[in-house]
Amino acid sequence: MAGYFKIRRPMNNHDLNWREKFPPYVALILVMLLGFGLRVYRLDQQSLWWDEVYTVARSVMSVPELIQNLFESRVHLPLYFLLIQVWSDIGRSEFILRYFSVLCGVATIPLIYQSGRLLAGHRAGLLAAFLLTISPFHVWYSQEARMYTFLAFDALAANYFLLRLFRHESRLDWFGYTVTLTLTLYSHYLGVLILIAHYVFFSLHYRQDKERFKRWFICAFIAGAIFAAWFLAVFFISSFTQASISWIAPVHWYEPLLTLLAFSIGRTIDPSRPFFYLTFFTYLLFALTAVYYGSRRSANTAQRLSLHLLLAWLGVPLFLLTLVSLDWSIPQQRFVYMDRYIISLQPAFILLTAWGAILATRELHGRRWLLAVTAVALLVPTWLSLRNLYFEPAYAREDWRAAAAYMAANQQPGDVLLLNGGQVLPFLYYTEAHLPQVVLPSLLEYEKPEQKTQLEQVLEETISTVPAGTKRIWLVRPFDNAETHGFPQTRNMAVSSNEKNALESWMETNSHLAGRWYFTGIRLSVYDITNMTDSS
């Protein structure tokens, strides 16, 4: 790291002996083993939530059915689901389906180590790997049967090849960049933000290095053209205006700060408790340290370019996503800001943090008490967040498994389960409750003001079709965690509140509420309709 500081402590015999006795790859292997353990621990403890159940449904579709389904939904790309179709041949249990994400998460650890090593040496790489290993945010999505850790791996790989290209260009690295950028684009629609960030980065450096820009443009054009084939097909066949993302709320200008909070400490915290901000401020302080010293004392051109790439990788997508998701009151505006959609940015934040921490450690050599305090501020809140992730039901995914098991244990002859279309899949997967099911028709074709009126008519018609002898109707109301950063407090309060939707209100008006039970993210009710059926 020559050039960063005027005074450097020379390497002594102790440093040399440490490296001989404890080679870098041994430390990395230990960190990877820790990362694997954290990600596989209690992997199937939580129920699959709705999105994961839909992963199960897509795993059994034929390829033409899958492509048609993705065309109609307009919110996902095919790559992950094609891979999971192959993977699910092993089995479709919660453990097996999530294990694919575990492998993607663990594979990201050595990759971020190599990226950090290119930035600032072995210690920076090892620290970046350790921070990703213990990241509650990354552990959470490594235990989810979705594409998010696959997206993070692909995006990090694309940026890793750029970091290599800053130091020594080779055709193999340009090829690797093209392939991994294509994988990123086909992992999630917001993977395109990585391409935009790279465009901004190379455009700003165009005058200094026109030849590299031209080579990048060719690679980006190839990846973009491959992605455009799918994008244009969806656009012309079904457009994106009806994509099922209307549940995503608009954001405020400060959301990027909360995103960095989630990246550093995870979603399994109460953001109203200042204690958890210790970790966030530690990350932020070290990241700013890297920006300050990296911009002032970069040892060479490659390091300056690397710093600028990290800033573009993290900053450009956050800025654009916030800009398009502010409430501008534009007709048919769609909001897209969700932290899990931009997990591809977390490695950039971690790399900046690790780089800054190494620089700060050298500056503060001899003040080990301050480093110890910093380590405690980082590790203790992280440990509490991980504990919440593993053991606290209030922070867990919606518990469809427990709701189905409770109905199975308490069902009676003459019971019927009333579902809307979106609740069928979880009860196909969790089949403990073998109740006759009545599915309500969709009301999405109606405008929201009309849906309540239509619902009353639909319910009257539906109740008249229940099997003869029906005495009780079970009703399940899920409360998905739609909070931008995944913090579950709003969801939990909604579950336990007295607030009723139109369906619950109609049932309570026309029948007798016989019981109500609460599970994580789910409210379960049973109604006695004896008087309703007798009168009919």
Residue 306 lies in a domain: yes
Q: Are residues 289 and 407 in the same domain?
A: no
Residue 437: beta bridge partners? 417
Q: Are residues 44 and 119 in the same domain?
A: yes
* Per-residue pLDDT, 3: 40
Q: Are residues 335 and 351 in the same domain?
A: yes
Token duo for residue 380: 């203790």
Token duo for residue 42: 């209690």
Q: Are residues 32 and 138 in the same domain?
A: yes
Q: Indicate if the pLDDT at residue 338 is higher than 80.
A: yes
Measured distance between the N- and C-terminal CA atoms of the chain, rounded to whole angstroms? 83
Last residue of a domain, one of 367, 395, 423: 395
Pick the more confident residue, 216 or 451. 216
Q: Which residues contact 292 (CB under 8 A, 6 or more apart)?
A: none
Last residue of a domain, one of 374, 395, 416: 395
Q: Indicate if the pLDDT at residue 254 is higher than 60.
A: yes
Summarised one tens digit per residue, pLDDT across range 291-320 is 988 777 666 788 899 999 999 999 999 999
User: In angstroms, what is the C-alpha Rg of the chain?
Assistant: 26
DSSP 326: B
Task: Give the span between the Cα atoms of 171 and 201, in whole angstroms.
Answer: 20
SS (H, E, C) 45-78: CCCCCHHHHHHHHHHCCCHHHHHHHHHHHCCCCH
Cα 85 to the center of its chain, rounded Å: 20
Pick the more confident residue, 375 or 280. 280
Work out whether the CA dihedral 185, 213, 311, 120 comes out positive or negative. positive
* Per-residue pLDDT, 472: 92
* Per-residue pLDDT, 14: 44
Question: Which stretches within 238-345 are classed as H helix?
Answer: 255-265, 277-297, 301-325
Q: Name the E strands within 52-196.
A: none
∠ Cα 169 172 178 (to 5°) = 95
Q: Which residues contact 332 (CB under 8 A, 6 or more apart)?
A: 241
Q: For residue 322, what are the CA distances in angstroms to 56, 308, 335? A: 32, 21, 9
Q: Are residues 372 and 446 in the same domain?
A: no
Task: Give the span between the Cα atoms of 452 and 90, in whole angstroms.
Answer: 45
What value does the mean pLDDT take over residues 286-293?
92
| pTM confidence score | 0.92
Residue 130 lies in a domain: yes
Using 50, 70 and 90 to split pLDDT, how confident is the model at 366? low
Summarised one tens digit per residue, pLDDT across range 139-170 is 999 999 999 999 999 999 999 999 999 999 89
* Per-residue pLDDT, 16: 47
* Per-residue pLDDT, 91: 93
Within 13 Å, how many C-alpha atoms sit on residue 2's CB side?
3
Work out whether the CA dihedral 519, 265, 200, 80 comes out positive or negative. negative
DSSP 380: H
Q: Indicate if the pLDDT at residue 204 is higher than 80.
A: yes
Summarised one tens digit per residue, pLDDT across range 166-181 is 999 899 999 999 999 9
Q: Are residues 377 and 410 in the same domain?
A: no
DSSP 353: H
Residue 4 lies in a domain: no
Task: Give the span between the Cα atoms of 200 and 198, in whole angstroms.
Answer: 5
Q: Are residues 388 and 407 in the same domain?
A: no
Using 50, 70 and 90 to split pLDDT, how confident is the model at 436? confident
* Per-residue pLDDT, 433: 61
Q: Are residues 442 and 334 in the same domain?
A: no
Last residue of a domain, one of 373, 395, 417: 395
Residue 7 lies in a domain: no
Residue 2 lies in a domain: no
Residue 8 lies in a domain: no
* Per-residue pLDDT, 452: 66
Task: Give the span between the Cα atoms of 206 and 305, in whole angstroms.
Answer: 12
Q: Are residues 130 and 67 in the same domain?
A: yes
Q: For residue 23, what are the CA distances in angstroms to 13, 34, 129, 353? A: 15, 18, 16, 23
Residue 54 lies in a domain: yes
Domain total in the chain:
2
Q: Are residues 412 and 380 in the same domain?
A: no
Residue 195 lies in a domain: yes
Q: Indicate if the pLDDT at residue 531 is higher than 70.
A: yes
Q: Are residues 391 and 439 in the same domain?
A: no
Q: Are residues 20 and 157 in the same domain?
A: yes
What is the extent of the structural domain holding 349? 13-395
Burial (CB count within 10 angstroms: exposed 0-12, middle 13-18, buried 19+), residue 287: buried
What count of other Cβ atoms lies within 10 Å of the Cβ of residue 451? 14
Q: Indicate if the pLDDT at residue 443 is higher than 80.
A: no
